[in-house]
Amino acid sequence: MKTADLNILVQEGEGTTLEFKESLSPSLTRELVAFANTVGGKVLLGVRDDGSIVGMKDSNGLRARVHDLARNCDPPLQVTVEPVGKVIVIRLREREAKPVQCSEGFFWRQGAVTQKLARDEIRDFFRVQGSVRFDLSPCTRFRYPADFDRQKYNTWLKMSGISGRPRTEDVLVNIEAAERSAGKLLFRNAGVLMFAKNVRRFFSQAYITCLLARGSDKVDILDRKDFDGGIVADIEDALRFVERNTRVAYRIERLRREEIPEYPMAALREAVTNAVMHRDWFNEGANVFVEIYSDRIEVSNPGGLPNGMLASDLGHRSVRRNPLLADLLHRIEFIEKAGTGIKRMRDEAKKHGSPDPQFKTTGFFTVTFFPKSVGQYPKAHVEAHVEAHVPLTRLEAKMLAACAGEPQRPPELLRRLGYSTRTGNFKKALAHLIALGFVEMTSPNKPRSINQRYRITTKGIALLKKSPRRRMGRPSE
């Protein structure tokens, strides 16, 4: 390892595969055992928890003490010890023969936390789970740099907070997304899921399906979207789908208007991220679903609970099915520290004033969210709802506001709404506004004229003044 690699690791901070220790002590065995039982990792001696380097003097005596601690584990562990600048780097791989214990017990790595488990618990977990992990397995079909999406990588790098200009290959190796093999960069599955140009070329199950139903079942599907642009983009796209297809109330306090979504969006973000992170990626015949019904939203992922967990453990204990993938998401703050996901969903729902989410475990793990009741909305919103009775979606409300000034040519209207082409949702929204009499064409007899423009009507202006950007009724885009 070079000094540049060390600097990258220090900037990344502690995580599933990285631990900082200011000095050498017998407690090192806990970290060694935890790494061996999880996915392997590195310990940096001479680095404080905050990432500041205090240094550690290299000596034969120090190396001997580290190897003695590793050998005293059961079964014994093999580690490599090397000085890099002022820091001593201890490296070890995931142990195939699990579980591993030390004199203090059995330990397991949960994000940046080393957690102690009962022997029977961890033994049974690894007996069922097996030693093969999807996210750590190499993807031999992936070719670097031909299949590598640099834009996705640059976005992740910026979000991770890593500064400077580190070599891409060094970062990918240090975050465990890839490893060097025979002079080449061999990507792991987690690295492919995060940074491939076309993820579904390698994993057909790598997408999120979002559904919008008219009622409380799937009899009448109004809209369906499959998002497969990569894990980070898929999570964001799924949340945007929910925002487009659910209602918003407004509260005005001190001349400022606050949007109050129908559902707890922070809890939904946690649920969608967890669904991607915890899903069983070995199951190629299923994918993550986000389903919007008239009375609820369901977020589900294939695989149910990870082996070693019970329904009663939810909110109290966490077992990560894909720890490396979780670590990559944690580094860009898509998830919080280990074991808090269920609690955050419940807390955010309570904070929002929504009913407590429900959790169901079968072959899928499903979280069900319920809307904030009308009775809990601000009074002004309820009165405006009763008075207007106008079923406008968010896109329709934005389109109405965009037409409130000068008449808009189609390209101008598309640009103001953030569209590059006329999508089905765009056409549907425009047609609905015209049918309701809120927007009209300047050349109604020539709908395809190049001089065609769209302008707001007197009726539309009245609605806009009465209830700006309001969305009610049917929950489409």
The two beta strands, 41-45 and 18-21, are: parallel
| pLDDT for residue 387 | 34
Percent of the chain whose predicted confidence (pLDDT) is above 70: 84
Question: What pTM was computed for the model?
Answer: 0.60
* Amino acid identity at 180: R
Query: What rounded mean pLDDT belongs to the chain?
Result: 83
Average pLDDT in the 248-259 region? 64
The helix (H) or strand (E) run that includes residue 224 is strand 221-227
Q: Does the pLDDT at position 388 exceed 60?
A: no
And the tokens for 270? 């946690």
CA atoms of 359 and 330, how far apart (whole Å): 23
And the tokens for 348? 């955010």
Average pLDDT in the 342-367 region? 91
Identify the sign of the CA torsion 168, 171, 177, 181: positive
- Specify the DSSP class assigned to residue 47: B
Give the pLDDT confidence of 289-343 residue by residue, as tens digits: 999 998 999 999 998 776 656 666 665 566 677 889 989 998 888 876 555 788 8
Q: Are 315 and 346 in contact (CB under 8 A)?
A: yes
Q: Does the pLDDT at position 100 exceed 90?
A: no
Residue ranges of domains in the chain, CATH in brackets: 3-127 (3.30.950.30), 150-199 (no CATH), 208-374 (3.30.565.60), 389-466 (1.10.10.10)
| pLDDT for residue 24 | 93
Q: Does the pLDDT at position 128 exceed 70?
A: no
Q: Are 267 and 369 in contact (CB under 8 A)?
A: yes
Give the pLDDT confidence of 435-468 residue by residue, as tens digits: 888 899 988 878 778 888 999 888 888 777 765 4
The two beta strands, 439-441 and 454-456, are: antiparallel
The helix (H) or strand (E) run that includes residue 278 is helix 265-278
Q: Are 239 and 256 in contact (CB under 8 A)?
A: no
CA atoms of 291 and 268, how far apart (whole Å): 12
